[in-house]
A and B are shown apart, each in its own frame.
Chain A
Amino acid sequence: MAEIKRAEIKSAAIKKTKRQELDEGGMGYLQSLPRRVVTVYLPLLVFVIVLLFPFYWMTITAIKPNHEMTDYANFNPFWVVHPTFEHIRYLLFDTSYPGWLLNTIIISTAATFLSLLAAVFAAYAIERLRFSGARQVGLAIFLAYLVPPSILFIPLSVMVFNLGLYDTPFALILTYPTFLVPFCTWLLMGYFRSIPFELEECALIDGASRWQILMKIVLPLSVPGLISAGIFAFTLSWNEFIYALTFIQSSENKTVPVGVLTELVRSDVYEWGALMAGALIGSLPVVVLYSFFVEHYVSSMTGAVKE
């Protein structure tokens, strides 16, 4: 029964996307090619170049030997003549960078799991149990998402200190959910809303408890939603900066963004090669993760907006 329903939902979703694809073709044929070049392709090219240039510059600097890096007279700065892995080797073996990477992975994963766990129950309760006051709670969760870390970090630093969590990973694992839980709950609420009520009613009649419904029907159907909420949460915690800067003191407990900025920048001599390599390697995990699930990313954003 559930299998059939699931197949139906899937085929409906496929039909929907197919229709959209057809729609988007629209009236494009009314435009002539030269006009399209000027109004579409040329601006798009400029946008893509501007948006990607910093990444190109980051990469090229990371593999440039030092004597080429600042010698613009003899070497074209946009290219590299003798690529070197010296900066990356230095970063990985002579600094605490691998430790920061490990810290960031542990903290982001733990914070993501904690937030997803809390968010799944909260979203299900608000969206499906519809307890009295569910709408108000939903609104409160939305408002909680609007509270920025910039106004919370000072009181939170006092709390973290008093709780004895200062300079430990737990300081970050417990504070990241302040922005992850509202976000994930909001996203999952939208997802749960798209699952037909009839499925749950069938299960209720068959004698399933709420817990069984959540575990065996709602969660399996919302795997795509869980994945996108998970990726969003992981990316957000990977990118977080102000809490990590405030709550972590010792070098070995730092996360990548904080470590790169506070430990690799020494005195007046900037080691640009190592800095850029650090920025590049620190960006790679989220970029790779995201490129695997880019379709989820865009479609869940579309879904969230369509509500």
Chain B
Amino acid sequence: MAVSSAAVQPRPSILSRSLSLLADSRNALGFGFMLPAAALLLVFLTYPLGLGIWLGFTDARIGRPGIFIGIENYQYLSDDAVFWLSVFNTLLYTISASILKFALGLWLALILNQNLPFKSFFRAIVLLPWVVPTVLSAIAFWWIYDSQFSILSWALMEMGLIDHRINFLGDPENARASVIAANVWRGIPFVAITLLAGLQTIPQSLYEAATLDGASRWQLFRFVTLPLLTPIIAITMTFSVLFTFTDFQLIYVLTRGGPVNATHLMATLSFQRGISGGQLGEGAAIAVAMIPFLLAAILFSYFGLQRRKWQQGGGD
């Protein structure tokens, strides 16, 4: 039957032949399939990335395209105490929040990995802070940190632990601690659930074998859990560090960088100078100054992945 129908069919035209040839070619087809995603990303991601670097070398303002001024923006920033304060704040914020998120997240993951009643219920509610829009939960924190009616101050005063209200967001040191606490609150679920996923890939038989060999609980953790979890810890923490470093929303809601710039991060300073202040060039230069730090974090992740290959016995 196949033969007879082939005989009846007219010769396919050149157009349809070349079309079917295209459909068979993996490269042509791959190009076609990649087109929508590639177009979106090239236009709205790669191009703006380049444009941002270019803007950093110009004196552009809102409503006025700038002219090339070389590294003047960077020279100005290098003498700007507020910029260096924001770099310091960003590093302090990122490092302390990441350490706390990692320690508490790992702890929570180890707890959730136990055989608990209502396990999936606990997993679900633990993820809540991560699901809810950051800005909206930050507004709740704003109310919790209110200088007059803070519920935390009230509760601590009722318990007799402090004798006057804490000025959470008005005092530089307190404000830093408060925004870090809010960031940790929001970040714990992500770290905990990702590490939990990693913990579940560790075979129980390894623990059983180690226990038979007389390992203590600490040794089980140190010599079985931790080495097998390292690759996932590396990836999770890279993401966590990246997102903490570039954080904007929490600070914008809680303090807008105040008091006296004590909580200004590079992202919020970039917004303040670039959009609110209209100095697009300077704002872009501050944003570009974040890139070296981000690259360092990505390289860290890359070496984390390398180690993973080595742990799986190399090769690959």
Name A residues whose Cβ lies closer than 8 Å to a Cβ of B.
20, 23-28, 30, 36, 40, 43-44, 47-48, 50-52, 54-55, 57-58, 61, 69-70, 72, 77-78, 114-115, 117-119, 121-122, 124-126, 129-132, 134, 137, 141, 143-144, 146-159, 174-175, 177-178, 181-182, 185, 209-210, 235, 238-239, 241-242, 245-246, 256-258, 260-261, 272, 275-276, 278-280, 282-283, 286-287, 290-291, 294-295, 297-298, 301-302, 304-306
Contacts and interface: CB of A to CB of B under 8 A. Distances in A.
Interface of B: 23, 26-27, 29-31, 33-38, 40-41, 44-45, 47-49, 51-52, 55, 60, 104, 107-108, 111-116, 120, 122-129, 131-137, 139-141, 143-144, 146, 148-149, 151, 154, 185, 188-189, 193-194, 197-198, 200-201, 203-204, 207-208, 211, 232, 235, 242-243, 246-249, 252-253, 266-267, 270-271, 274-275, 280, 283-284, 287-288, 290-291, 294, 298
Given A47-B126, A124-B33, A181 B204 contact: no
A134 B30 contact: yes
B246 A148 contact: yes
Nearest to A282: B136
Contacts of A55: 128, 132, 137, 140
Contacts, number: 286
10 contacts: A26-B207, A118-B36, A125-B29, A154-B280, A155-B48, A155-B284, A175-B44, A241-B252, A287-B131, A298-B124
Contact of B52 (A78, A124, A155): A155
Given A44-B111, A51-B128, A286-B132, 16 more contacts: A23-B203, A44-B108, A47-B188, A121-B33, A150-B290, A151-B49, A152-B49, A153-B287, A177-B44, A238-B133, A241-B133, A275-B139, A287-B132, A298-B120, A305-B197, A306-B197
A294 B232 CA distance: 22
Contacts of A245: 252
- Most B C-beta atoms less than 10 A away, residue of A44, A51, A275, A287: A51
A126 B29 CA distance: 11
Contacts of B122: 44, 48
Contact of B55 (A57, A155, A242, A246): A155
A276 B248 CA distance: 21
A297 B143 contact: no
B13 to A, nearest CB: 18
B26 A129 contact: yes
B248 A241 contact: yes
